[in-house]
Amino acid sequence: MNYSNSKYWDSCALIAGILLTLSFAPFDYPYFALLALVLLFTSWRHISAKRAALRGYLFGLGAFGSGVSWVYVSMHDFGGAGVLGSSVLTSLFFAFWALFPALAGYLSAKMKGQSRFIIVPVIWVLIEYFRGYWVLNGFPWLQIAYSQLETPLAGYIPIVGVYGTGFMLALTASVIVEVERGKKSWFLITVLVLLWTVGGLLRIQLWTHEIGRPLRVSMVQGNIAQDQKWRPENKINTLLKYKRMTEQHWDSNIIIWPETAIPAYLDQVKDAFLDPLGNDAKLHNTDLIISVPVQDRSPTRNYNAVITMGKEEGIYRKTHLLPFGEYLPLQPLSGFVLNMIKIRLGNFTSGAVNQPLLKAGGYPFITLICYEDAFGDLSIQGLPDAAFLVNVTNDGWFGDSIEPHQHMQMARMRAMETGRFLLRSTNTGTTAIVSPNGKIISDAPLFEEIALTGSIIPMGGMTPYARWGDKPVIAAMIIVLLGLMGYGRVFKTLRS
What are the residue numbers of the active site?
259, 318, 370
**Distant-in-sequence, close-in-space partners of 56: CB < 8 Å, separation ≥ 6:** 13, 40, 44, 98, 101, 102, 103, 104, 105, 106
Of 317, 431, 310, 290, nearest to 361 (Cα)?
310
The answer to whether 325 touches 295, Cβ cutoff 8 Å, is: no
Of 391, 418, 58, 29, nearest to 208 (Cα)?
418
**Distant-in-sequence, close-in-space partners of 132: CB < 8 Å, separation ≥ 6:** 138, 139, 140, 143, 162
The answer to whether 426 touches 223, Cβ cutoff 8 Å, is: no
**Distant-in-sequence, close-in-space partners of 111: CB < 8 Å, separation ≥ 6:** 119, 120, 123, 484, 485, 488
- H-type alpha helices, 274-381: 275-283, 333-340, 376-379
The answer to whether 144 touches 33, Cβ cutoff 8 Å, is: yes
CA atoms in the 13 A half-sphere facing the CB of 184:
1
**Measured distance CA(69)–CA(24) in Å, rounded:** 14
Q: What are the φ/ψ torsions at residue 434 (nearest 5 degrees)?
A: -115, 135
- DSSP run (H or E) holding 235: helix 235-247
Strand bridging mode 358-360 / 314-317: unpaired
Order across the sheet with 363-369: list the strands. Answer: 358-360, 363-369, 388-393, 422-426, 432-434, 440-443
Instruction: Tell me how far apart the terminal alpha carbons of the chain are, to the nearest angstrom.
Output: 29
| Residue 34 bridge partners (DSSP) | none
Burial of 342 (0-12, 13-18, 19+ CB in 10 A): exposed
**Measured distance CA(422)–CA(366) in Å, rounded:** 9
**Measured distance CA(19)–CA(63) in Å, rounded:** 8
Q: DSSP 3-state assignment of 100? A: helix
